[in-house]
Amino acid sequence: MAGPWDVFNAANLLAGLPSEPYRLELLSCSEDRRVETVGGMHLVGRRNIRACRGPIDTLIVPASFGFERVTSDRALIRQVQRLARHSRRVASVCGGAFVLAAAGLLDGRRATTHWRGCEELARRYPAVKVEPDRIFVKDGNVYTSAGVTAGIDLALALVEEDLGRGVALSVAQDLVMFLRRPGGQTQFSRILQAQNADRQPLQELLARAAERPDEELTVEAMAARSHMSPRNFARVFVKQVGKTPARFIEQVRVDAARRRLEETNSDLECVADGCGFGSANSMRRSFLRVLGVTPGAYRERFRRG
């Protein structure tokens, strides 16, 4: 809920319009208007959902897991169905797709949800064409997004549709540099990736570095690829990224290595090689700098299964 909320709120501030384009409202299902989130945080809605009358521009249903409770709440489902009829478009974040599905809003449509729930969604609602591995899916006026932070991407896409790319970009820049996804794999926000064409030629480089940490990523090589002198490249890099090139690359490589240590049984030399470290020894030194533990100790602690 908070991610999209902040996106729309930032859009209000950054759109530069005389009146704010979005009016945000949190609806609650309970009489006292309280909403207790899964983490135990308490929010208070402006209104009870039953008191809400249309028309609504964008109805967003965020939910975590625990679909049993949510999808079996007939009153809630009925209210969602009712409000959807008065909405220009309907969206869900994470487990919210289960609510939309239960309301029949996804029948015959393409949709996605948190990677951990995709199978379950497809099994329970055969009429839904589940697309795993997507950050978000748009089908007609129904939008669904994957886990947690994907809701931010979804909201950015809606802002882009409404107010144009420029506003969406400023919002994205205002909120984040890039996003790491929960599925294990590093992915970049679509909209942030797109901005590389415009103002920030470095973004493309950063994305590529994260995907291929084993490539040559010295200042000299990256400068050449960016058509800049090494001196200027380093300067621009610090200004845009906030870290020096070597620091950033080290971080990227350590992240890549962590993942492999967690998810594979490759030996350290192999991991080091695949992540761009010259040797297991230099990987070890990077780990100590960045994480304070050796690769071996890290794997020992975090390996799966």
Catalytic residues: 94
Selected binder of DNA within 218, 242, 263, 296 (CB under 7 A): 218
Stretch that binds DNA, among 89-97, 188-196, 212-220, 263-271 (CB under 7 A): 212-220
CB 105 within 8 A of CB 136: no
Name residues contacting DNA, limited to 238-297 (CB under 7 A).
238, 244-247, 250, 277-279, 281-282, 285-286, 289
As measured in angstroms, the least distance from the Cβ of 290 to DNA is 9
**Which is nearer to DNA, 72 or 218 (by Cβ)?**
218
219 binds DNA (CB under 7 A): yes
Question: Residue 73 or 273: which CB sits closer to DNA?
Answer: 273
Site string for DNA, 170-209 (x = CB under 7 A): ----------------------------------------
Q: Which stretch, 24-32, 45-53, 169-177, 230-238, contacts DNA (CB under 7 A)?
A: 230-238
Q: How far is the CB of 253 from DNA (least distance, A)?
A: 9
CB 173 → DNA: shortest distance, Å?
A: 16
Contacts for 293-298 with beta carbons within 8 Å, 24 or more apart? 295/257, 295/261, 295/268, 295/271, 296/268, 298/258, 298/261
Q: Which residues bind DNA (CB under 7 A)?
A: 218-220, 228-232, 234-236, 238, 244-247, 250, 277-279, 281-282, 285-286, 289
